Amino acid sequence: MWNTSNTTGLPQAKFSAADVGVIVTYFVVNIAVGVWSSCLASRNTLNGYFLAGRKMAWWPIGASLFASSEGSSLFIGLAGTAAAGGIAVSGFEWHATYVLLALAWIFVPVYISSGVVTMPEYLQKRFGGDRIRMYMSALSLLLSVFTKISADLYSGALFIKVCLGWNLYLSTVLMLMVTALYTIAGGLAAVMYTDALQTVVMIAGSIVLSVTAFDKIGGYSNLEEAYMQAIPRKTIPNTTCHLPRSDAMHLFRDPVDGDLPWPGMTFGLTIMAIWYWCSDQVVVQRSLSAKNMSHAKGGSILASYLKILPMVLIIMPGMISRVLYPDSVACVDPEECRKVCDTDVGCSNIAYPKLVIELMPDGLRGLMIAVMMAALMSSLTSIFNSSSALFTMDIWKKIRQQPTEQELLLVGRIVTVILVVISLVWIPILQNANSGQLYMYIQSVTSYLAPPITAVFMLAFFWPRANEQGAFWGLMMGLAAGIIRMVLEFLHPPPHCGQPDSRPGSLRRLHYLHFAIALCGGTAMAIVVISIVTTPPRPGQVKGLTWWDVQRQIKRKRERPRPTAISPTESPALEAERTIGERVSGDGWKCQTPAIPVDCPTLCHKPPTPPEYEGRAPYGSLVEDPLWVRVCCANALLLMCFNVYLYAFYA
């Protein structure tokens, strides 16, 4: 009933002059915005290049948080996984609401208080020593290669291949040339303002495609019935893998046998989301560029609102693509799949580009190609800038003693090229992983490597007794367990349709989301035990670097809005804290006495700053206007209520 012609093979798109005109216009505007925005913050300073001069407002922050997470890999991956299994994958998007709010209300104040640029730099300040910082930087770069750059390059190239019939690697080179034009030159400011433009383009184009797709099947009310009938004509005898899942329209799946079991989606996903949204450089770097805390919170709130949209704009259209083109999108026979998408593990990844080519009229087809290019570019530019910051600030500065700022900027740009080359080599492995479902590949690799990072950051924030020995050896144990699981996964991939499952029992019975729970818990236990039996951290190591301490200091700052003269009886730590607060907050080293104001350098004692306080921001910078505190809290409460309603409706 819903089948159309040309249901097998890749579509042969014919682009009109209107399509070409829309694409060219998009790129001209995008490049113009990138060049303009790169001039807003100094690109020749580390603060300007990596943190946009800490002058960003809430709306580009929120748009960039959304756009950098909704890269082309999510358009391709979310739609493909939805075509294969239904709406449960939307939990990955909706879960971001709570964790984005945690980023702004819990994590960002501590990061700002510590005065860091990168997340490994925070761990070094919190625990001391260099080995955790170096390890975290290297692991973050590997995660960028395995789960971000390679996935985005592959998905963007796959989209161009479906649309234009170009070679996969030729398409990849084109993506890189376009992306590098302003990323390497412009810094974070260019990335975030172009992300804001691309967010508008992505949402507008996706709305048009979503409305067209729903109209094609007779509306939302027909989606479930149509999806259950979307069966390819060529199947494998005595198998059921060609049938749609009976629980396709439910978020919560069986806790043992479900493709996305609800305990894993509740707890394991939380662990992975905390790593991505609260401790990953790509995301946190955007929030650290905010003018103040209110703008950081506003950015997280805007991104949370936008993360509700993919259910209707990406996931359900992916299901509709299976309805309209079951022979290609839902193919199960390896020979048939090779004809459609050059891989024998399934072709669900072509669900979204197939819709674009088949449904969109002239001009709008060009708009959707611009949307996918926008998604790819926004994601890649974010990753490139953040990865270069990680290598430059955390690794290169340890290799080269006292490098010049120009040298650091040059190294940051060079490392981007190196990461791209490594990612290109990884693409063939990615192409055949996880039954051809790109999004499941990304999440599974994340579950093997990210949970130990979540455990370390949570204990660093909330348990002052955690020390360097516990954190480092806990990370090493977690890494070993994660690597073993990942190697086993690649050596024993899931069987194709009709093949017996000969994988080890640990792979068959332990879902990767459940493994994330076990890995995080095991790492946390190791950190706690080792920290208890070894020397505790010095008081100066945790001062202003745990959530509890930052909240106490903010409360004190609210109660004492103006600095007073330093009493000689005060402790050196409090003396240093007050001195730093006065200096950075712009009081010009002036102290007040009940009689007259005097100049600190001449009449007031100014003690040297202890090493553990170097680079820390004043607590006064975290104090917010009461009006905006209420506005942000009201929006956060509204978001959580709406999110709970959506979960309950689709549970």
Q: How does DSSP assign 277-342, residue by residue?
A: III-HHHHHHHHTBSSHHHHHHHHHHHHHHTTTHIIIIIHHHHHHHHH-HHHHT--SHHHHHHHHS
CA distance 428 to 524: 35
pLDDT surpassing 60 at residue 615:
no
CA distance 341 to 337: 6
- Domain limits, CATH 1.20.1730.10, in the chain: 19-122+149-395+404-436
Residue located via tokens 């080519």 = 357
| pLDDT tens-place string over residues 103-139 | 999 999 999 888 888 888 899 999 988 899 889 888 8
pTM of the model: 0.82
DSSP letters for 499-528: S---S-HHHHHS-HHHHHHHHHHHHHHHHH
Per-residue pLDDT, averaged over 423-447, amounts to 73
Per-residue pLDDT, averaged over 438-455, amounts to 90
Q: Please, are residues 407 and 46 in contact by the beta-carbon 8 Å criterion?
A: no
Mean pLDDT (the chain, rounded): 80
Q: What would the CATH number be for the domain defined by 19-122+149-395+404-436?
A: 1.20.1730.10
* pLDDT (0 to 100) of residue 405: 72
Q: Please, are residues 143 and 450 in contact by the beta-carbon 8 Å criterion?
A: yes
Contacts of 225 (CB under 8 A, 6+ apart): none
Judged by phi (left if over 0) then psi (alpha if -120 to 50, else beta), residue 597 lies in beta
Q: Please, are residues 589 and 565 in contact by the beta-carbon 8 Å criterion?
A: no
DSSP 392: I
* pLDDT (0 to 100) of residue 215: 94
Per-residue pLDDT, averaged over 603-618, amounts to 48
| pLDDT tens-place string over residues 212-244 | 999 999 999 999 999 999 999 998 888 888 899
| pLDDT tens-place string over residues 468-514 | 999 999 999 999 999 999 999 888 888 877 788 888 888 888 999 99
Full 3-state SS string of 65-106: HHHHHCCHHHHHHHHHHHHHHCHHHHHHHHCHHHHHHHHHHH
- At 478, the amino acid letter reads G
| pLDDT tens-place string over residues 311-361 | 999 999 999 999 999 999 999 888 888 888 877 778 898 899 899 888 888
| pLDDT tens-place string over residues 267-309 | 999 999 999 999 988 788 888 888 888 999 999 999 999 999 9
Residue located via tokens 């740009």 = 413
Q: Is 592 helix (H, G, I), strand (E, B) or coil?
A: strand
CA distance 73 to 67: 12
Contacts of 462 (CB under 8 A, 6+ apart): 546, 547, 548
- Output the six-digit token pair for 611: 């090493």
CA distance 277 to 412: 23
Helices 168-216 and 150-164: crossing angle in degrees, nearest 10, is 70
Q: Please, are residues 67 and 378 in contact by the beta-carbon 8 Å criterion?
A: yes
Residue 183: band (very low, low, confident or very high) from pLDDT cuts 50, 70, 90: low
pLDDT surpassing 70 at residue 166:
no
Instruction: Count other Cβ atoms within 10 Å, centred on residue 405.
Output: 12
